[in-house]
Amino acid sequence: MKVKKLLFLVAILTLGVVLYRPITENSSSLSPSPKPSLSQSSSLRIDYGEGRIVENVITVASEASVLESLRNLHEVQIKEFDFGKLVEVIDGVKSGDGKYWIYYVNGTMGQVGANQYRLKPGDKIEWKLEKEKK
C-alpha cells in the first residue's frame, strides 16, 4: 500500500515538473512588451512672414503639446482664455493688425488650443503669422 502511494506521489510530481517546464520556458522566451517612448522627434517650422522662415528638427517629451514644443526653442508670449492659450508673440514678432499666430500639424490647422494638442512621433508642426480669414 505504501509503495502504491509512493509511486502515485512520484508520478504526480513528475507530471507536474513536465507540465510546468514548458509553461516557464515559453513565458521567458516571450519578448517584453515595448515601453512607450519617453521622447519623440518632430519638425517645427515658423513662418514669420515676409519670407523669414525658421525650421528645426526637435526632440520633445512623449505626448508634449504643440505649445511646449514651441517654447523649447523660441521666446513665446501667450494670453490665457477660457478656451485655451493664445500665442501672441514668437521671438519678438507680435500678432495684431488682423494677423494671428496659427499652428498647423501635418498641414491641418489646429482645432484646439496649442496647449491641448498632444504630439505624435513624426508630426510636422508649423506656426504661421496669418491674416484673419473672414
At 24 the pLDDT is: 44
Number of structural domains in the chain:
2
C-alpha torsion angle, residues 68, 70, 73, 76 (rounded to 10): -100
Encode pLDDT of 67-81 as tens digits.
Answer: 999 998 999 999 998
70 close to 44: Cβ distance less than 8 angstroms = yes
Does the pLDDT at position 29 exceed 60?
A: no
Residue whose C-alpha cell reads 478656451 in the numeric block: 83
Residue 62 banded pLDDT, cuts 50, 70, 90 = confident
Over range 91-101, report the average pLDDT: 95
Nearest Cα residue to 83 out of 44, 116, 36, 118: 116
User: Do 23 and 65 belong to one domain?
Assistant: no
User: Do 50 and 103 belong to one domain?
Assistant: yes
Instruction: Give me the phi and psi of 71, to 5 degrees please.
Output: -65, -25
Q: What is the pTM of this model?
A: 0.68
Residue 98 banded pLDDT, cuts 50, 70, 90 = very high
Residue 111 banded pLDDT, cuts 50, 70, 90 = very high
User: Do 51 and 26 belong to one domain?
Assistant: no
